[in-house]
Amino acid sequence: MLKLAKEYYNAINLTEKSRLDSLHLALAVHHGMDYLISWNLVHISGARPRKIVEQINHSYNIITPIICTPEELLEEQL
């Protein structure tokens, strides 16, 4: 899990201050969460980080949770 977090950290090009965001992503993936809900558009739920996480997970044959904002989740439920 820590290896995956480090890979996300490097690929997304996070700052040291945002290092825990990569761990947040890795924890959700490691525990098989269906969704990862976050308002953090820059480091977690934005289009760029989503795509990077999906590509990395695909390379390891890991299922990626749906990464979205609370607002997007509510829209999906309607």
Q: Model confidence over 3-56: pLDDT tens digits?
A: 999 999 999 999 898 999 999 999 999 999 999 999 988 889 889 999 999 999
Query: Given pLDDT bands bounded at 50, 70 and 90, which one contains residue 78?
Result: low
Say what the pTM is. Answer: 0.86
In three-state secondary structure terms, 14 is coil
For residue 55, the enclosing domain spans: 2-77
The two three-digit tokens of residue 58, written as one number: 């695909």
- Backbone phi, then psi, for 13, in 5-degree steps? 65, 50
**Cα torsion at 12, 46, 66, 26 (round to 10°)?**
30
Total domains in the fold of the chain? 1
Distance CA 10, CA 14 (A): 7
